[in-house]
Chain A
Amino acid sequence: MNYNATEKGYYGEFGGAYIPEMLYPNVEELRQNYLKIMAEPDFKKEFDQLLKDYVGRPSPLYFAKRLSEKYNTKVYLKREDLNHTGAHKVNNTIGQILMAKRLNKTRIIAETGAGQHGVATATVCALMGMQCVVYMGEIDIARQAPNVARMKMLGAEVRPALSGSKTLKDATNEAIRDWINNPVDTHYIIGSAIGPHPYPDMVTRFQSIISEEIKWQLKEKEGRENPDYIVACIGGGSNAAGTYYHFLHESEVGIIAVEAAGKGIHSGESAATSALGKEGIIHGCKTLLMQTPDGQITEPYSISAGLDYPGVGPLHSHLYKTGRGEFYSATDDEAMTSGLELTQLEGIIPAIETSHALAIFKHKTFKPDDIVVISLSGRGDKDLDNYIKYFKL
Chain B
Amino acid sequence: MLSRSLCYFIMFNQYLILFKMNRINKKMQENKKLLSIYFTAGYPSINDTVKIIQDLESSGIDMIEIGLPFSDPLADGPTIQNSSTAALKNGMTTKVLFDQLKDIRKTVSIPLILMGYFNPMLQYGVEAFCEKCNEIGIDGLIMPDLPLDVYQEKYEAVFKKNNLKNIFLITPQTSDARIKQIDEASDAFIYMVSTASVTGSKSGFGTEQTKYFERISAMQLNNPQIVGFGINNSETFKQATDFTKGAIIGSAFIKHLTENGVETISSFVKGIR
Q: List 25 A-B contacts (CB under 8 A).
A: A16-B147, A18-B146, A19-B147, A21-B144, A22-B75, A22-B171, A22-B193, A24-B147, A24-B173, A24-B174, A163-B81, A163-B85, A173-B74, A181-B196, A181-B198, A181-B201, A184-B173, A280-B123, A281-B145, A283-B74, A291-B123, A295-B70, A295-B94, A295-B119, A297-B119
Docked pose: A281 CA to B121 CA in angstroms = 10
Interface pair A169/B120, CB less than 8 Å apart: no
Interface pair A181/B120, CB less than 8 Å apart: no
Within the complex, the shortest CB–CB distance from B173 to chain A, in Å, comes to: 5
Of the listed residues A183, A278, A294, the one surrounded by the most CB atoms of chain B closer than 10 A to its CB is A294
- A272-317 residues with Cβ-Cβ distance < 8 A to B are 278, 280-284, 291, 293-298
Interface pair A297/B72, CB less than 8 Å apart: yes
Interface pair A18/B150, CB less than 8 Å apart: yes
The number of residues on chain A lying at the interface, defined by a beta carbon within 8 Å of a beta carbon of chain B, is 34
A176 at the interface (CB under 8 A from B): yes
Interface residues of A (CB under 8 A from B): 8, 16-22, 24-25, 163-164, 169, 173, 176-177, 180-184, 278, 280-284, 291, 293-298
Interface pair B150/A180, CB less than 8 Å apart: no
B19 at the interface (CB under 8 A from A): no
Chain A residues within 8 Å of B168, by CB? 21
- Pairs A-B, 9 closest by C-beta atoms: A295-B123, A295-B120, A20-B144, A21-B169, A296-B71, A294-B93, A281-B119, A295-B119, A20-B75
Docked pose: A291 CA to B117 CA in angstroms = 14
Within the complex, the shortest CB–CB distance from A122 to chain B, in Å, comes to: 24
B175 at the interface (CB under 8 A from A): yes
- B142-166 residues with Cβ-Cβ distance < 8 A to A are 144-147, 149-150
Interface pair A297/B71, CB less than 8 Å apart: yes
Interface pair A282/B178, CB less than 8 Å apart: no
B116-149: CB near A (< 8 Å → 1, else 0) gives 0111111110000000000000000000111101
Interface pair A20/B119, CB less than 8 Å apart: no
B172-214: CB near A (< 8 Å → 1, else 0) gives 0111001000000000000001001110010000000000000
The number of residues on chain B lying at the interface, defined by a beta carbon within 8 Å of a beta carbon of chain A, is 40
Docked pose: A16 CA to B153 CA in angstroms = 13
Interface residues of B (CB under 8 A from A): 70-72, 74-75, 77-78, 81, 85, 88, 93-95, 117-124, 144-147, 149-150, 168-171, 173-175, 178, 193, 196-198, 201
Docked pose: A293 CA to B122 CA in angstroms = 11
Do A293 and B74 contact each other (CB < 8 Å), given the known contacts A20-B169, A22-B196? Answer: no
Do A25 and B147 contact each other (CB < 8 Å), given the known contacts A180-B198, A295-B121? Answer: no
Docked pose: A321 CA to B149 CA in angstroms = 25
Docked pose: A281 CA to B145 CA in angstroms = 9
Interface pair A25/B173, CB less than 8 Å apart: yes
Do A24 and B178 contact each other (CB < 8 Å), given the known contacts A16-B150, A18-B146, A19-B145? Answer: yes
Chain A residues within 8 Å of B81, by CB? 163
Docked pose: A280 CA to B71 CA in angstroms = 13
Chain A residues within 8 Å of B121, by CB? 295
